[in-house]
Amino acid sequence: MTTADAVAGDGADGRVAAPDLSGGPVKGPASYFPSIEKNYGRPIQEWLDMVAARPADEKHSESVAWLKAEHGMGHGHANAIVAYVRAKLGR
């Protein structure tokens, strides 16, 4: 993640910035992001914004179920997005 991303999307405003994936190997949930963009045809930032906009008291599993039911996302991809957003927002 670049410094600009950290400042612009640190979660304080409820927005989570997508990480910079051009800097080499990515670990953790973000490692799924290129595949998510390819398989579902939307930029990862759109997915992050949608999940960040979900109710703050929604459980991890409920957000995953929503992505699967409403957007046809596979479990691993949905879990990666939700885990990334929740970690950045401290949920």
Mean pLDDT of the region 19-27:
85
Of 16, 13, 12, 14, nearest in space to 1 by CA: 16
Would residue 46 count as lying in a domain?
yes
Question: Which tokens sit at 26?
Answer: 């990515």
Would residue 7 count as lying in a domain?
no
Mean pLDDT of the region 76-85:
98
Residue 12, pLDDT above cutoff 80: no
Percent of the chain scoring above 90 in pLDDT = 71
Contact yes or no for 52/39 (Cβ under 8 A):
no
- pLDDT attached to residue 58: 97
If one counts the domains in the chain, the total is: 1
Tell me if the pTM is above 0.75: yes
Mean pLDDT of the region 20-45:
92
Would residue 73 count as lying in a domain?
yes
